């Protein structure tokens, strides 16, 4: 059996010398050192030998096994070095080639729309004021006439944080309180843009993360007619002078009276599509006269001052302006969509 081991070692080493790939090396290992390999078969048969022969055969078998394993490791290292050298030669980088040109960046369609909104309202004397996205329950709800027990809280599916009383704002309306307390008792004309967060189902017009632009105007003689004039002018500046708008009665706890403004659907021309829910009209914003209690909470005397507020979604405006039929495109990071607005 010792002679058999010697022949096995010689044959295995000769085969190993001629291998030129890792796949062939793995096949060699399985054939000689694997669980069903030739050397393993010999080791299993040692127990069948006479007792006086077992020590010598077992010792020789272990020597052959160690020799083959060492030869295998050395061959594997050699093949890895050869592969690395081959890659260095074949895949080397030609540093003399000119680099790839870097394309200039461009604004996201939501940002472009926001800037158009800013420009239109700037012409009417509104300034931009940014407010926090993480808000207190007091600012987001309670100071806007939505106490903890109020059923209107169901209108805003809220993301709460682990800290009690702190949440991700569900609308930009808490910015009204911050703006009033910042400027009181001076008259105000501001827009309050930013992201909002709501835990709700995604549809063609709704997302859980979206932009809003809040507007607020407070003075001594601000009327509902002023509100309608400002918003009608905005719609026709943004979408064209021939656009039709309509105001519908609505309800918001922080305005009284409240109204929603619709515009004829540009996408379908009023015939009906999934964006306008087949009505021919699309709601583009909510609005109303600031509730007297909200004015008090902001520091203004409602017997002296009045004001109006409105809130709109820039994505929905962009959907109408560019005939985009699903809001999910804005956040999918698909360059085929985004590059259309470069």
Q: How far apart are CA 313 and CA 330, in angstroms?
A: 13
Q: Is the pLDDT of residue 166 over 90?
A: yes
- Specify the pLDDT at position 227: 97
- Place 116 in a pLDDT band, splitting at 50, 70 and 90: very high
- Place 268 in a pLDDT band, splitting at 50, 70 and 90: confident
Q: How far apart are CA 296 and CA 309, in angstroms?
A: 15
Greater pLDDT, 191 or 321: 191
Q: How far apart are CA 321 and CA 315, in angstroms?
A: 10
Residue with tokens 């207190």: 136
Instruction: Give the pLDDT mean for 167-190.
Output: 94
Instruction: Give the pLDDT mean for 91-113.
Output: 84
226 and 121 in one domain?
Answer: yes
Instruction: Give the pLDDT mean for 134-141.
Output: 94
285 and 152 in one domain?
Answer: yes
Residues 6+ apart with CB under 8 A from 194: 130, 131, 133, 169, 172, 175, 211, 212
143 and 16 in one domain?
Answer: no
- Specify the pLDDT at position 256: 94
Q: What is the greatest pairwise CA distance in the chain?
A: 117
Question: Can you give the residue range of the structural domain that contains 250?
Answer: 109-341
In a domain, 9, yes or no: yes
In a domain, 8, yes or no: yes
Q: How far apart are CA 292 and CA 98, in angstroms?
A: 67
Taking CB atoms within 8 Å and a gap of at least 24, the contacts of 178-181 are 178/129, 178/131, 178/139, 179/129, 179/131, 179/216, 179/298, 180/216, 180/218, 180/295, 180/297, 180/298, 180/299, 180/300, 181/298, 181/299
21 and 146 in one domain?
Answer: no
CATH code where residue 303 lies: 3.30.930.10
43 and 140 in one domain?
Answer: no
In a domain, 175, yes or no: yes
Residue with tokens 């209108």: 155
**Residues 269, 272, 275, CA angle at the centre, nearest 5°?**
95
Q: Is the pLDDT of residue 204 over 60?
A: no
The model's pTM is 0.67
Averaged pLDDT of the chain = 86
Instruction: Give the pLDDT mean for 16-27.
Output: 83
Q: How far apart are CA 45 and CA 42, in angstroms?
A: 5
86 and 197 in one domain?
Answer: no
Q: How far apart are CA 87 and CA 98, in angstroms?
A: 22
Q: Is the pLDDT of residue 75 over 80?
A: yes
Q: Is the pLDDT of residue 291 over 80?
A: yes
In a domain, 96, yes or no: no
- Specify the pLDDT at position 309: 97
- Place 47 in a pLDDT band, splitting at 50, 70 and 90: low
Q: Is the pLDDT of residue 145 over 80?
A: yes
- Place 95 in a pLDDT band, splitting at 50, 70 and 90: confident
In a domain, 98, yes or no: no
Q: How far apart are CA 206 and CA 196, in angstroms?
A: 12
Q: How far apart are CA 292 and CA 296, in angstroms?
A: 6
* Cβ-count burial 277-290 (b if 16+ within 10 Å, e if not): eeeebbbbbbbbbb
Our count of domains for the chain comes to 2
In a domain, 292, yes or no: yes
Q: Is the pLDDT of residue 288 over 60?
A: yes
């Amino acid at each position: 059996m010792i002679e058999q081991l010697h022949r096995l070692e010689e044959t295995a080493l000769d085969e190993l010398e001629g291998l030129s790939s890792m796949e062939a090396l793995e096949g060699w290992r399985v054939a000689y050192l694997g669980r069903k390999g030739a050397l393993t078969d010999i080791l299993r048969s040692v127990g069948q030998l006479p007792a006086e022969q077992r020590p010598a055969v077992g010792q020789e078998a272990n020597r052959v096994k160690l020799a083959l394993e060492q030869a295998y490791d050395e061959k594997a290292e050699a093949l890895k070095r050869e592969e690395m050298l081959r890659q260095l030669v074949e895949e080397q980088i030609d540093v003399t080639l000119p680099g790839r040109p870097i394309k200039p960046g461009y604004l996201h369609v939501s940002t472009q729309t926001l800037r158009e909104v800013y420009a239109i309202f700037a012409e009417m004397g509104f300034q931009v004021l940014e407010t926090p996205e993480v808000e207190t329950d007091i600012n987001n709800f309670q100071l806007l006439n939505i106490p903890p027990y109020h059923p209107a809280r169901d209108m805003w599916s809220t993301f709460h944080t682990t800290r009690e009383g702190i949440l991700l704002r569900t609308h930009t309306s808490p910015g009204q309180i911050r703006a009033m307390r910042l400027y009181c008792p001076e008259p105000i004309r501001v827009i309050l843009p930013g992201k909002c967060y709501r835990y709700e189902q995604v549809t063609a017009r709704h997302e859980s993360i979206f932009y809003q632009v809040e507007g607020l105007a407070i003075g001594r003689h601000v009327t509902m007619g002023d509100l309608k004039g400002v918003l009608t002018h905005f719609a026709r500046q943004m979408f064209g002078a021939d656009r039709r708008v309509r105001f519908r009665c609505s309800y918001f706890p922080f305005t009284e009276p409240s109204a929603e403004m619709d515009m004829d659907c540009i996408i379908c021309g009023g015939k009906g599509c999934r964006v306008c829910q087949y009505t021919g009209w699309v709601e583009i914003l909510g609005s109303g006269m600031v509730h007297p209690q909200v004015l008090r909470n902001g520091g203004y005397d409602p017997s002296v001052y009045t004001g109006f507020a409105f809130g709109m979604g820039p994505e929905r405006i962009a959907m109408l302006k560019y005939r985009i039929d699903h809001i999910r495109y804005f956040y999918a990071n698909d360059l085929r969509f985004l590059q259309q607005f470069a």
